[in-house]
Amino acid sequence: DVKVTQSSRYLVKRTGEKVFLECVQDMDHENMFWYRQDPGLGLRLIYFSYDVKMKEKGDIPEGYSVSREKKERFSLILESASTNQTSMYLCASSSTGAGDEQYFGPGTRLTVT
Amino acid sequence: GENVEQHPSTLSVQEGDSAVIKCTYSDSASNYFPWYKQELGKRPQLIIDIRSNVGEKKDQRIAVTLNKTAKHFSLHITETQPEDSAVYFCAAKDSGYSTLTFGKGTMLLVSP
């Protein structure tokens, strides 16, 4: 059973703080993704990675960066949090060789005040 | 890049009725179309998917149809039950990478 976990379910940060969101998957998946989910806007891709130390920008990368030092772990970094980054953040992973299904983590509800 | 449009944004039905959610996509090279269900407070989970070499796929009360020529695909839920109430997302796989472009979601409410 695929398991994708995220470091926090709820997080409250102040404007200007540096924020780290971590995601870990236990199925040796090559691909990992970070999305943000906002009401009425669906799931929007921030960044993705298809291998260790590789990263690609998604549709809304501005204000975010990522790190993938190990295959199982993909971190999303908000260098200087702003109120418009208040959102639900979802991590997902998938296997290149075993279909295209993405498995999602439980999400982190981030509030920036 | 890919663009996915999803309609309607909300859908209310009575228990036992059928529900249909429709999506269109823009990239004719897309070849994989999943549907995810997200219950309140939970993570999205895949409920059914279809590839471009197939026109229809069924799994018990849910089915997906794909029209490649028109670039649209639909989710059909028959004999709806209250536990079908959730937000449903369609998606299309982007050509090249293993990324998905999602629609904006449909909130389905099934009333007893």
Q: Does B89 touch chain A (CB under 8 A)?
A: yes
pLDDT (tens digit per residue) in A4-19 = 999 999 999 999 999 9
Res. B99: pLDDT tops 70? yes
* Amino acid B52: pLDDT: 83
Q: What per-residue confidence (pLDDT) applies to A2? A: 67
The pLDDT score that the predictor gives to residue B58 is 96
Residue in B9, B89, B97 closest to A43 by CB: B89
Check A102 against B101: CB less than 8 A apart.
no
Chain A contact present for B9, CB below 8 A:
yes
A7-26 CB burial, b ≥16 within 10 A, e <16: ebeebebeeeeebebbbbbe
Q: Using the beta-carbon criterion (under 8 Å), do B49 and A106 form an inter-chain contact?
A: no
Provide the pLDDT for residue A98.
Answer: 65
Phi, psi of B29 (to 5 degrees): -85, -10
Task: For A67-94, write each residue's pLDDT tens digit.
Answer: 999 999 999 999 999 999 999 999 999 9
Give the span between the Cα atoms of B2 and A46, in whole angstroms. Answer: 15
| pLDDT beyond 80 at A1 | no
- Which tokens belong to A75? 């971190």
Q: Which of B45, B5, B46, B51 is nearest to B30 (CA)?
A: B51
Instruction: State the average pLDDT for chain A.
Output: 94
**Binary contact (B43, A58; C-beta < 8 A):** no
Gyration radius (Cα) of chain B, Å: 13
Reported as a pLDDT band with limits 50, 70 and 90, residue B59 is: very high
Instruction: State the pLDDT at residue A99.
Output: 73
